[in-house]
Structure 1
Amino acid sequence: MENCLSHPKTLTLPSPPSSSSKPQLTHNFSPKPTFRFNNPLLIKPAKGGLCCRRRPLSVIASAGASHCEFSSLNSPLEPRSLAGKFLSNVLQNHRQLFHIAVTEELKLLADDREAAVTRMVLSTDSDEACLHRRIAQLKEHQCEIAVEDVMYMLIFYKFSEIKVPLVPRLSRCVYNGRLEIWPSKDWALESIHSLEVLEMVREHIYAVIGLRANSSVTDGWATTKIGQSLVGQIYVASILYGYFLKSVSLRHHLEKSLSFTDHDLQLGHRTQFHLQDMSTYGFTNLLFGCFSNKQSIVQGPTSQEGKFEGLRCYVMGFHPESLQGCAKLRSKEAVKLVESHSCALFGEGESGSFESDDFILTSFSSLKRLILEAVAFGSFLWETEDYINNVYKLKEN
């Protein structure tokens, strides 16, 4: 099913200069402050400044050759806000202006929220205090939905940069109880990780589904029967694992670059403990499956020469509280987005639940594709949170 967005009138935006090169992806989503986003949907008020006036966008679904068809903008979760629909339109038709549009939308949302809170505070002792408090609550809710959409579109953009389409709603991909996802795009999904992170991702895949990195094509296309609810749980756990790997790998790189050798620095006292202790901090063998064959955790380096162990040993030496902090989603918006995306991918209709007892027949290759996508989603989510929080203050989780 291919989703395309239509507009009542043609959207006209200024074309980029002919000498400009194709925009490159940056991991920190750095905006371009010297260029103002200018289009018919943004009008200048009398006293200057920009305000956004968007016409409603309609979503049109058209049947393709396959219900599980990948398209340029085909994702399981559709934008719910005007900001999200507007950005999806920009991404399709004016990709070179996407980051500028995102920055403008975030600024507008931040201003709208701040203005509503200011009015509420100023009217505290007036007869309209209750009204303005309710308005501020509604505005806060609207901004939450809009920011989740902006976050989702940024993640979608990151996937499009590596030319990997998100897997559409799985109910469209299951035929006669069998699920197959093609093309796999494994190489592209693995290319976003460093060698150390990729090694841990592959170990995670092996721990979850038993498919090794050097498995043959025959092994990959072998089929297995698995519950739909379990597939959903694996997907969510893999998102959290990708988020965790992004966070901890950046910390590892920072510590190495600063040549820290003291074990009692602010990253937390590093000590030896057993893997089963992780469960008391909300970590399961499913999430940290790559360590499931370890009986004990390797202690941090004792050498004073400034030499650091690899990422895996670095992670295993973390204090439990520091480990938990790296794996925890930092914002409430991110928590809701993971829930919404996962339910849209695995859920049926509008129920928003993928707790199904039905079993499906699928190949190990398709399961690997889902896990690699989930890990990449988590990694991109960490970067997106970091970018958005610089413009629009997210709620701490």
Structure 2
Amino acid sequence: MARLYHRLKATDVRSLTAPGRYPDGDGLYLKVSPTGAQSWVFRFRDRVTGRDRNKGLGPVRLVTLPRARELARQCQTELRAGVRLIDDERAERARARMAGATRLTFGECVAETIASKAAGWKAGSKSEGQWQSTLQTYAGHLFERPVESVTTDDVLAVLKPIWDTKTETASRLRERIEAVIAWAKARERFTGENPARWRGHLDSLLAKPSKVKVVRNHPAMPWQQMFTCMQRVKARDSDASRALQLAIMTATRISEVVGSRWKEFNFEEGIWTIPADRTKKGRALEIPLVGPLRNHVERIPRTGEFLFPGHGKHPTLSTEAVLKVLRKLVPEYEVTTHGFRSAFRDWASEATSHDDKTIKMAQGHAIADKTEKAYRRGTLLAKREALLRDWWEHCDTPPSRPTLKSVA
């Protein structure tokens, strides 16, 4: 019967030079590389992954056959004790490297994480301030702690007090803490699993955000009331009312309107191009500049770079100024400027036959499939122009029955 253990002899070790693995038994193999180099490996089945793995035990020139067998027996003992030979060893080496390296605090990692992301944020973005503010406000007590000392309990202590009452803020805060620790882990300043990760970890300890928070949509003007509302907006002579009218006519975000520059308007081609760095989705948006919309823009006084210049330190009109005027014009509704985008969407879906993709593209939303790329540019603009012309006609057409009361 063939021996299952101690198959190799010292003379075999010296004579085996062909590339391959030669078993000695009990998981010990003599490995000969294509270059002829000889080394010992312990081969075992990982109980977690189910895969065969090799743990190096050293070169033959330094480790004798008896010593290799002794090391293999130690590996078998550790396996029976539940030790993950390679992963635990790597973790220990990583901890040793961290102990010898300069320790970073959680606050230092926050600063480095923000700096690494800054290049990807749009010019004038508030992201940097928002990251710094939320982390300092809710996790400020962790800033002086070594980042490797942050645990799941620390993360929960930050999140739990606001998880039910400020769910959206708490969810963003968790993502930012996770990003900070991920940065530290990539720089070998943190070992182990990320304590702020959601899937497979915090999702077992905290309620799903969508189950906690009450979604509050922006109050919208009923689309049936748009005629009287638009008449009130047109009757007021101010930058705020003109900006509001432009936002309503184009169904764009008020921030995209108040920040508009004259150079974005190409009157020859009849297109208003909102550059990517001024849109929420980070994609340029083209709006047909025709008919009533063109007439409205051409009537806006030119006093500088911006259509709606600001005062003092502010280069442009503020969104709050527009909202303030809106509330005066339509006091009977708690409507917001963003709510007119909802009114546009509701009208287009309920009262027209325009396709859903055209409606979404008109508002700068992403399309799930490749339709946007498949359409020719001219076709896209033609469809959106038809949609906007119908919207303008709706806003300028008196309803068949009384709606809002007139106000002075």
What TM-score, normalized to structure 2? Answer: 0.20
Instruction: Select the structure with the greater relative contact order (CA < 8 A; seq sep ≥ 6).
Output: 1
Larger gyration radius, structure 1 or structure 2: 2
What TM-score, normalized to structure 1? Answer: 0.21
